[in-house]
């Protein structure tokens, strides 16, 4: 097995989950209605919990422990796509991001359930159900607000137009695409992206929203190898504040 290729794959999945989980958790107590606040917060916890599982596999492959991986790296050492580090904005943007990202995530985990690298296959099978609910949640909200009032439609459309180039950054090819494919570890970002596009369009078509052009795809690239927006470092500083004050803190 090509350990470097596997680590590369694990880092981007774990970092995406950790950063988006943290961003989404910022809605706790601020959600548009109580029930939604609880649901969105729960999903944020799912993401952070899932990231911990992926960091644990990295740990088993020789990387340092999950807490240190999560809290002690700088922005340029993170492999998350830029989409997940963008500020939450208003709820329209957070929902669009949740929709674009989680749709890709569910397809990724479905693909990885067949991975020849067993720890990833087992974990992906196990968390597919959680992410399935996340996409149900996203789809229902997008269908609802994407066909409701002129305000909700124009807000979602503006967020969709803004987010799309960054969403395409999810599929930035890895240095190891060929190795991962050849060894049956992961079918690759290109396959994932094609499936994703079909599903996204399938939902958008059921609303008054229009699928934006995909021409600006170069804009959201770079995150997988440490090129991030200015938003990531302050986010990491805030996230790791307690850990950096006292790494042994426990409660």
Among 39, 122, 158, 208, binds another protein (CB under 8 A): 39
Rounded to whole angstroms, how far apart are CA atoms 251 and 248?
Answer: 10
Q: Determine if 15 is a binding residue for another protein (CB under 8 A).
A: no
Binding mask 215-244 for another protein (x = CB under 8 A): -----------------------x------
Which one of 11, 13, 15, 52 is in contact with another protein (CB under 8 A)?
52
Report if residue 73 touches another protein, rule: CB under 8 A. no
Which residues lie closer than 8 Å to 97 by C-beta, 6 or more apart?
A: 20, 83, 84, 86, 159, 163, 167
Q: Is residue 151 classed exposed, middle or buried when 0-12, 13-18 and 19+ CB atoms within 10 A define those classes?
A: exposed
Q: What number of other Cβ atoms are within 10 A of residue 74's Cβ?
A: 12
Number of residues that bind another protein (CB under 8 A): 31
Among 35, 118, 215, 230, binds another protein (CB under 8 A): 35
User: How many Cα atoms are found within 13 Å in the side-chain-facing hemisphere of 88?
Assistant: 17
DSSP labels for 43-65? Answer: HHHHHHHHHHHHHHHHHHTT---
Nearer to another protein, 39 or 197 (CB): 39
Min dist CB 12 to another protein, Å, is 19
Interface residue with another protein, options 6, 14, 15, 50 (CB under 8 A): 50
* The one segment of 41-49, 107-115, 151-159, 213-221 that binds another protein by CB under 8 A: 41-49
- The span from the CA of 113 to the CA of 118, in Å, is 9
Q: Nearest 5°: CA angle at 95, between 9 and 21?
A: 45
C-beta of 95: minimal distance to another protein in Å? 12
The tokens 């968390």 sit on which residue? Answer: 127
Question: Which residue of 45, 68, 113, 217 would you call a contact of another protein, by CB under 8 A?
Answer: 45
Count of H-run helices and E-run strands, the chain: 10, 0
Closest CA to 189 of 7, 1, 13, 51: 13
Residues 99-128 that bind another protein (CB under 8 A): 126-128
Q: Which stretch binds another protein (CB under 8 A): 131-139, 167-175, 209-217, 219-227?
A: 131-139
Query: What does the alpha-carbon distance between residue 81 and residue 59 come to, in Å, rounded to a whole number?
Result: 22
- 1, 136, 190, 219: which one binds another protein (CB under 8 A): 136
Contact stretch for another protein (CB under 8 A) within 36-44, 99-107, 174-182, 186-194 = 36-44
Which residues sit at the interface with another protein, rule CB under 8 A? 26, 30, 33-36, 38-39, 42-43, 45-46, 48-50, 52-53, 126-130, 132-133, 136-137, 140-141, 144, 238, 251
């Amino acid at each position: 097995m090509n350990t470097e290729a596997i680590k590369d794959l694990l880092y981007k999945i774990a970092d995406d989950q950790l950063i988006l989980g943290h961003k989404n958790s910022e809605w706790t107590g601020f959600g548009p209605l109580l029930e939604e606040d609880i649901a969105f917060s729960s999903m944020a916890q799912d993401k952070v919990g899932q990231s911990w599982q992926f960091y644990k596999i990295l740990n088993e492959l020789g990387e340092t422990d999950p807490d240190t991986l999560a809290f002690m790296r700088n922005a340029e050492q993170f492999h998350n796509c830029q989409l997940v580090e963008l500020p939450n904005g208003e709820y329209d943007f957070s929902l669009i991001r949740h929709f674009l990202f989680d749709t890709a995530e569910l397809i990724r985990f479905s693909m990885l359930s067949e991975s020849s690298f067993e720890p990833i296959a087992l974990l992906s099978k196990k968390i597919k159900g959680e992410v399935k609910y996340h996409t149900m949640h996203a789809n229902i909200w997008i269908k609802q607000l994407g066909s409701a009032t002129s305000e909700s439609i124009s807000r979602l459309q503006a967020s969709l137009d803004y987010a799309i180039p960054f969403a395409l950054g999810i599929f930035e090819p890895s240095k190891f695409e060929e190795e991962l494919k050849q060894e049956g570890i992961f079918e690759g970002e290109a396959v994932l992206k094609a499936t994703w596009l079909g599903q996204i369009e399938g939902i958008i078509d059921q609303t008054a929203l229009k699928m934006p052009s995909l021409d600006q795809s170069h804009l959201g690239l770079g995150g997988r190898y440490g090129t991030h927006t200015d938003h990531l470092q302050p986010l990491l500083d805030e996230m790791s504040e307690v850990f950096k004050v006292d790494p042994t803190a426990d409660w």
